[in-house]
Structure 1
Amino acid sequence: MAQGQRISDEQRAAILEDIRAGGTCRGIAKAHEVSPDTVRRIAAEGNVKDAFARAATEKATRARTTDMAALRAEVSAKYLRKASELLDQMDQPHLVFSFGGKENTYNEAILERAPTGDLRNLMTASAVALDKHLKILATETDSGATTAASMLSGIADALEKAAEVLDSEPPDETSTNI
């Protein structure tokens, strides 16, 4: 509708009906080809108070934010539990297996502990899970970011040293082809 043109009573009633039905200001304006100011003015003239109040949107946003924080906390806890489980696996008996030979046969053995390469993989996977846990925590609290970064640096140093020790160990005789 061109600026300065008068809105018909029918169009005004249709706009007012959409306002009362709970439409958005911009959506109603677009549907009726009028400006958002016109829609707000019709709402005021029709005594529709708080027609476009943001309270419901703000409440929904707060609820969504709370839900997302709870989900992040749940995922963070899973990462921390997984990091612990992976570290525990390093000290448990370990199944090794292979497929091979002309007949592509399956062979397996249980070792007292994982071979060096598997130990390194378990340590790395645990460190990654812990890192993800700490990153989630850092997003929850700005003040914790520095502490998390420092802790991660320490973990990275420890992992490098552990990898060097594992690389320097002679391979398990039982970890070769079975």
Structure 2
Amino acid sequence: MNRQSPRPVTEETDEEVRQLHAEGLSRNEIARRLQRSGRTVSVIAQRLGLSFDRAATEEATRARMADLAERRAILAEALQDDAERLTEQMWEPAKIYNFGGKDNTYEDRDVPEPPADAKRALMATAAQAIDRSLKLVPPETDQQGLAAVDAWLRGMMGD
């Protein structure tokens, strides 16, 4: 029988168990992530004074979910800001340029606002940012407003 000797439990292992426990993971999930047995994780947790009490785990999970919701809200707000900056660019002065010709020359020109193809690209990118923002933090009560935004996005994208 070819049996491997068990991997030693190190201070690094203890710290990994402590961190994953603090994130609200269950004993079995910690064991899977660390590729250890559930029994090993239980022994480490007991030695570290950690418990896999369901109430504590549920509380940690709720806290983690609240943290993630806050991060999604911050990202959604940033995407809204991006969309606003992109749509403003459609009406601001721009520089158009071209490379080409037999001598591969560069030519540019300032224009009062971007050409139509650049406006289409700006609008499509802004629409994507708004769409992603709405998926991260969907409006909870404004179903009519959501339908209007969805219709606007579809119109901008040509769907």
TM-score class normalised by the smaller sequence: 0.5 to 0.7
Match of 2:148 in 1: 151
The answer to whether structure 1 residue 27 and structure 2 residue 38 are counterparts is yes
Q: Deviations over 1:45-98 (max 9, x none)?
A: xxxxx9541233222212211110111011100110011001100110011111
Q: Give the AA of the match of 2:77.
A: A
Q: Give distance in 2, aligned partners of 1:102 and 1:64.
A: 60
Relative to structure 1, the CA distance from residue 70 to residue 104 in structure 2 (aligned partners, 3 Å threshold; closer, same or farther) is: same
**Residues 54-133 of structure 1 correspond to what in structure 2 (within 5 A)?**
54-133=54-133
Q: Give distance in 2, aligned partners of 1:109 and 1:117.
A: 16
Q: Give distance in 2, aligned partners of 1:159 and 1:27.
A: 53
Relative to structure 1, the CA distance from residue 120 to residue 60 in structure 2 (aligned partners, 3 Å threshold; closer, same or farther) is: same
Aligned residues between the structures: 120
Q: What secondary structure is seen at the aligned counterpart in 2 of 1:117?
A: helix
Q: What secondary structure is seen at the aligned counterpart in 1 of 2:103?
A: coil
- Give the structure with higher Rg (CA): 1
Relative to structure 1, the CA distance from residue 76 to residue 148 in structure 2 (aligned partners, 3 Å threshold; closer, same or farther) is: farther
| Kept after mapping to 2: 8 A contact 1:97/1:109 | yes
Deviation at 1:129, TM superposition (A): 1.1
RMSD: 3.2
Match of 2:11 in 1: none
Misfit runs of 4+, over 3 Å? 22-26, 146-149
| Kept after mapping to 2: 8 A contact 1:134/1:148 | no
For structure 1, the 5+ residue unaligned runs are: 1-21, 44-49, 164-178
Q: Give distance in 1, aligned partners of 2:148 and 2:124.
A: 16
For structure 2, the 5+ residue unaligned runs are: 1-17, 22-26, 29-36
